[in-house]
Structure 1
Amino acid sequence: MTSIGEALVAQLAERGVKCVFGIPGVHTIELYRGLATSKIRHVTPRHEQGAGFMADGYARVTGKPGAAFVITGPGVTNTLTAMAQARADSVPMLVVSGVNTVPSLGKGLGHLHELPDQRAMVRNVALVSERVERAEDLGPVLDSAFRPFHSGRPGPTHIEIPLDVVGQEGASAHAIADVKIPVPDPDLITQASEMLARAKAPVILTGGGARHASQAIVELAERIGAPVVQTTNARGVAFDHPLGVPVSPSLKAVRELIETADVVLAVGTEFGQTDYDMYATGTQPSMASLIRVDRCAEQLARHPADLAIKGDAVLAMAALVKAQTRPEPADDGEARATRTRGAAFEEIGPEMRSLSGILDAIRDAAPNAIMVGDSAQPIYAGNLYYDHDRPGGWFNAATGFGALGYGIPAAIGAAIGDASARIICITGDGGAQFSLPELMCAVDEKLPITFVVWNNHGYQEIATSMQSVNVEVVGCDPSPPLFEAVAKSCSMPFWKCAPDPELIAAAIKSASGETGPTLIEIEAPNLAHPTHRASS
């Protein structure tokens, strides 16, 4: 007979799960009984938050749900931050946890890892949180947990299995529920195509949901003469293209482009504040005629459009290309894109322009790499203005939920998701200290990741924000470790250089010659703001 824990692992494998990130504990041992005999790879992070971020990075690269096994109580609470980041960025993630025995739940008996109501807590973050209490529950619970990954807006889901249930025998095979990818309505595609055919100044807005439809988006843009604005998670959709606008739509120059368009096609973008109003003006660009393509009905309802098309972006864009009958593109599309890029580059200021140039140098030194970022000065600059050479190859936690400590573990997940890719992780000295122990996971797994630490000895962005509103700078100068010593302790090759594009590019090229993880420290100008320290 097969136990519930063994059957769960077997059914995860049937659903395409190839890797699980997790730290074994007494509340998940029975899951590991099945894992030990399966073909699913297990990766051990150093913290459950790292497990969640690794699952996030894995999912973004593969397009398949990242999976994590965590213990009851602190394992779950440690993973919640990563789940919230995944929810903000529509990343498919499955978290499987233990929970205390069924008779003890909600009783406050002081059991190990006890929470008053673990599922109720997780439900505030996860799209779905289910419990398996009988062998016959397992298949339907898995169907429920996997359903959001294929229809609607993806995000994190959760399954918990009580300690007195996971080892029970009697679990049987389960016919996986049919997955229906949302297909766009042909009549709506025809209407959208006609609107775009008549447009004199069309614009295309792309979000993270559009990154797998890049070829069709570029083809449609060329047919109708539309600049393609790419939010952070859409960078690379139109790399180095005359119609490409790899710039934040929060900038005035991009807002002007959008507001002067007579038809706007928005594909896979939720119009979130961190993309469209990062300066918190309380406004978003006005649009004369908006067509939205999104797989989630709730998202379409939150930001109403003149024409809303519910459907998968890849299918919708292919259909729009096929339906398009426009004989000639708008004759000023490239000119509008060029003007916007130029105005936006001036708008971001000299410091951000310099940092954007450093990113260009890194990209050119490691072509087709996946760049994963934490909240750090170069990442802020890149989210404002940066063109990446790979669709879906630029992502970070400086938008959406904005969790620090994301970069290092997410890069590990990305490297496991695509073993052929070079991974560049860009983090600040502050953010790196949230998840430095995960470097050893990269060492254990022998992953080709170059960790780049932008070391300015503090929280530059926060200090600047404090000063801008006349608040004395407090708590923004945590001392960084000696990163060379960190690298040595992890047996990782190390380079240190000034924030010069040529020097950084040379270090990246050298690091790319290594087969395992490497560390580069960039000696950025130190945090210049005076910081308050209480006298002893």
Structure 2
Amino acid sequence: MSVKVYERILDLFEAEGINTIFGIPDPNFVHMFHLAEERGWNVVAPHHEESAGFMAEAVSRMTGKAAVCIGTLGPGVANLAGAMMCAKVENSPVIFLGGQRARITEQRVRRGRIQFVKQAALFDPSVKYNASIEYADQTDEIIREGLRKALGGTPGPVYIEYPSHVILEELDVPAALPPARYRLVDQTAGADRIAEAAELIRSAKQPILLAGHGVHTTRAGAAVRALAEAMACPVIQTSGGTSYIEGLEDRTFPYGFSPSAVEAVVQSDLCLAIGTELGEPVHYGRGRHWLANEANRKWILIEQDPGAIGVNRPIDVPLVGDLRAVVPQLVDALRDTPRTATPELAKWIENDAARLAELAETAPTGQSPVHPARLIVEATKAFPADGIMVRDGGATTIFGWTYSQAKPHDVIWNQNFGHLGTGLPYAVGASVAEGRKRPVMLVTGDSSFQFQIAELETAARLNLPLVCVVAVDYAWGLEVGVYKRTFGQGSLETGTHWSTETRFDKVAEGFGCYGEYVERDEDIAPAIKRAYASGRPGVIHVVVDPKANSEEMPSYDEFRTWYAEGTQ
């Protein structure tokens, strides 16, 4: 069949199940946008290309597939850079497409050219693959190589550029191939390794399952639930793996922030790690809470990238493959010999439930401004059971780790890179990926919220069921705390405070959203419910106590151990 290059690019993406694209319309790719719209794709134009990248990243997390965004040549592509670096560190398979002027422009010896820079070389360190479609008949091989690289090994972003003279050229090509014809999919582990892992599980006295970010992004919850039930063990969440698996909510504990998690780690004689790099937030699986019983603990790691095995700690049984294929192998191997739960599991479940109830009871109440701990309690109590939770901000997220009363099945936040301002774009992207039906709650700090606040208009335009709960202390709260700890109370806190005149509820109304201003904790949940009922995206401006926000962050000592001397 005869097609244009831009048509073929869409065909190749459709073969991968991709049907969403983010970017700001530009002459370089308006043909692609127009055709994608005709084909029924989600075509979303945000207000900043960095937001487009974050939105695409959220789609990849919610679908388990690669996602696509586009930047126009020069400044548009430059704006993608932050999202590109974020996707690299967050291990997100995002395909960044960049427009460019005709290649002859690059080869001319000229000065003072408009909207032009040699782009590709700027992004080499930030992507897994960097290529340009120089000739029309390279389209298939380059797009497929990009998908191969984005989804293979440790997932991550790729950058593909097309000069303007190529995008409208004609191709005579067959139908696009399915993924299994040109890249490795559903890779399983060897039968000998599976048998070895199953024997370790059967013989363990106190096994644990350590669930990371990859469990959520591969959409493997159902299979991991079956494995956890066969192992009859607790599930310990890494800080990146904070989505709860349906059916395992009561036995899932956050590493480092739940005493039940710490006890389970200390007593464990086997750790099965899934979807995690065993990085700093879990002390590489060999420091702090892991030190006790280290000599008696065996390790099984399910990892797609063979180059990651044994890097951060020794592994007894590596299971190399796609966890979506490997976990069912383990479940089958254990089917006839399921374990029986130890008495400790029931105790840990009871203690963790009591911990959450006590936190809800003891979070300071009746204050105005609201204590940030109470904000988290009240907001998460009002979280819809079928909702998507998005987190952003420094101090706000730290309070959320400890005080959250919700156990969402989908949580999106920027754990590895720590990139502020991702929250609102993530919320938009996640909602688009889910068909704009499930309620979304963004819990964020005010400074983080302002990075991409223009995307409130995007949310309003798409009429998303999104409520943004904004903890407002009129400051960079986490940094204020740094100043106080470094220089003492009353120190000069340079650059950390801003105007108390700012009203995010009014900003929201200006963008066509619902807005409410809250100063009392008892008003938080009703405001959230009214926002959802309004049928428009909502912003709840909650004034929080700046002193508590900067000085009373819970579990902060635990958080600091991620970076403390000895973890490096």
Scaled to the shorter chain, the TM-score interval is 0.7 to 0.9
Report whether the alignment pairs 1:202 with 2:240: no
Query: Residue 421 of structure 2 is aligned with which of 405, 414, 424?
Result: 405
Among 325, 328, 332, the alignment partner of 2:340 is 328
Is 2:487 aligned against 1:454? no
The change in CA–CA distance for 1:307 and 1:232 in structure 2 (over 3 A counts) is same
Q: Is the 8 A contact 1:93 1:155 kept in 2?
A: yes
- Relative distance call for 1:55 and 1:493 in structure 2 (3 A) is same
State the partner residue of 1:52: 53
Q: 1:343 to 1:292 in 2, by over 3 A?
A: farther
1:349–1:509: structure 2 CA closer, same or farther, 3 Å change rule? closer
The answer to whether 1:234 aligns with 2:234 is: no
Q: Which runs of 5+ in 1 are unaligned?
A: 531-536
Do the aligned residues in 1 keep the contact of 2:377 with 2:403 (CA within 8 Å)?
Answer: no
Aligned partner of 1:264 in structure 2 is: 271
- Equivalence for 2:198: 193
Q: Which moved more, 1:188-197 or 1:60-69?
A: 60-69
CA apart distance, 1:243:
5.8
Q: Please give the alpha-carbon distance, in whole angstroms, between the structure 2 residues aligned to 1:469 and 1:161.
A: 50
Deviations 1:366-412 (A, max 9, x none): 21210111114332233356464443x11212x21111111111101
Measured in 1, the distance between the counterparts of 2:454 and 2:154 equals 32
- Once the two structures are superposed, the pairs formed by residues 20-59 of structure 1 within 5 Å of their partners are 20-32=21-33, 34-35=35-36, 37-59=38-60
1:64 offset after TM fit, Å?
2.4
Quote the residue 2:511 is aligned against: 490
Whether the aligned pair in 2 keeps the contact of 1:458 and 1:527 (CA below 8 Å) is no
Partner in structure 1 of residue 541 of structure 2 = 521
Give the Cα–Cα distance (whole angstroms) in 2 for the partners of residues 97 and 80 of structure 1.
Answer: 11
Residue aligning to 2:432: 416
Q: 1:105 to 1:527 in 2, by over 3 A?
A: farther
Alignment partner of 1:382 out of 378, 381, 400: 400
TM superposition shift of 1:497: 1.9
What secondary structure, in the 3-state scheme, does the structure 2 residue paired with 1:375 have?
coil
Q: Return the offset for 1:356.
A: 6.2
| Contact kept? 1:459, 1:527, Cα under 8 Å | no
**Do the aligned partners of residues 134 and 362 (structure 1) sit closer, same or farther apart at CA in structure 2, a change above 3 Å counting?**
same
1:314 is displaced (CA, Å) by 2.9
Distance 1:58 1:216, change over 3 A: closer
What's the CA shift for 1:308? Answer: 0.7
Per mean C-alpha deviation after superposition, the further-off stretch among 121-130 and 29-38 is: 29-38
Amino acid across the alignment from 2:392: D
Q: 1:48 offset after TM fit, Å?
A: 0.6
Shift of 1:199: 0.8
Letter in 2 for 1:297: P
CA RMSD in angstroms comes to: 3.2
Number of residue pairs the alignment of both structures matches? 523
1:276 is aligned to 282
Q: Which amino acid aligns with 1:132?
A: I
Q: Distance in 2 between matches of 1:213 and 1:387?
A: 24
Q: Corresponding residue for 2:325?
A: 315
Equivalent residue number for residue 566 of structure 2: none
Aligned position for 2:189: 184
Instruction: Give me the TM-score of the superposition, normalised by structure 2.
Output: 0.83
The match for 1:367 is 385
Structure 2 residue matching 1:7: 3-state secondary structure? helix
Q: CA deviation at 1:191?
A: 1.0
Residues 84-107 of structure 1 show CA distances to partners (whole Å, capped at 9, x for unaligned) of 222222222111111232233376
- More deviation in 185-194 or 37-46? 37-46
**Are the structure 2 counterparts of residues 35 and 135 from structure 1 closer, same or farther at C-alpha, using a change threshold of 3 Å?**
same
Task: State the TM-score, normalizing by the size of structure 1.
Answer: 0.88
Q: Cα gap change, 1:238/1:441 in structure 2, threshold over 3 Å: closer, same or farther?
A: closer
Matched, 1:302 2:311: yes
The structure-2 alpha-carbon separation of the partners of 1:362 and 1:187, relative to structure 1 and needing over 3 Å to count, comes to farther
Partner of 2:368: none
Conserved 8 A contact 2:439-2:466: yes
Amino acid in structure 2 at the alignment position of 1:198: S
CA contact 2:389–2:412 (8 Å) conserved in 1: yes
Task: Return the offset for 1:338.
Answer: 4.8
Shift in Å, 1:460: 0.7
For residues 512 and 529 of structure 1, the distance between their equivalents in structure 2, rounded to whole angstroms, comes to: 27
Instruction: Kindly provide the amino acid, as one letter, of the partner of residue 268 in structure 1.
Output: G
Aligned residue for 2:126, secondary structure, equals coil
Aligned-partner residue type, residue 468 of structure 2: F
Distance 1:414 1:25 in 2: 24
- Summarize the Cα distance change of 1:154–1:32 in structure 2 as closer, same or farther, 3 Å threshold: same
Structure 2: 5+ residue stretches without partners: 366-370, 551-568
Q: Distance in 2 between matches of 1:489 and 1:477?
A: 24
Tell me, in whole angstroms, the C-alpha distance in 1 between the residues paired with 2:398 and 2:247. 20
Q: 1:472 to 1:185 in 2, by over 3 A?
A: farther
| Displacement after TM superposition at 1:444 (Å) | 1.0
- Work out which of the residue numbers 454, 466, 469 in structure 1 matches 2:483: 466
Deviation at 1:443, TM superposition (A): 1.0
